[in-house]
Amino acid sequence: MKDALSLLPIVAIAAIFWLLIIRPASRQRKEAASLQAALTVGDDVMLTSGVFGTIVGTAEDHLELEIAPGVVIRVVRGAVASVRRDPAPAPQSAEAATDVPTDRPDDEEER
């Protein structure tokens, strides 16, 4: 019994290590793999080197990326760090458009 209790701190440290380091890193790898698998022609991407471009062609293991008009490079899918997708603009309601906040409190306007 005493030997089992002496192993308890080591087991606790291993569990904390797994929760704080291994599990989040595994999630990040899965997210990066799904992002790289979902790349399509027309996506604006940023490479891990910081180069921005637009995908103009895809293959199994690499992409063709246009980084300037007429300049196309080939990169591996793993080099893509993020995808820039333009979110659809949300329509404003008529009430929100007319309700413009002011910089001054109401009592200063009366003076």
Answer whether residue 46 is part of any domain: yes
pLDDT in tens, 1-10: 777 788 888 8
Which alpha helices (H) appear in the chain, and where do they start and end? 2-17, 23-37, 94-98, 106-109
pLDDT over 90 (residue 52): yes
**Residue 100: pLDDT band by 50, 70, 90 thresholds?**
low
Answer whether residue 61 is part of any domain: yes
In this structure, what token pair is assigned to residue 44? 């604006």
Burial label for 45, CB within 10 Å (0-12, 13-18, 19+), is buried
pLDDT on residue 63: 92
pLDDT over 70 (residue 96): no
Number of structural domains the chain divides into? 1
Answer whether residue 96 is part of any domain: no
Cα–Cα distance measured from residue 27 to residue 49, given in angstroms and rounded to the nearest whole number = 22
| CATH number of the domain bearing residue 35 | 2.30.30
Higher pLDDT, 98 or 56: 56
Range of the structural domain that residue 54 is part of: 2-85
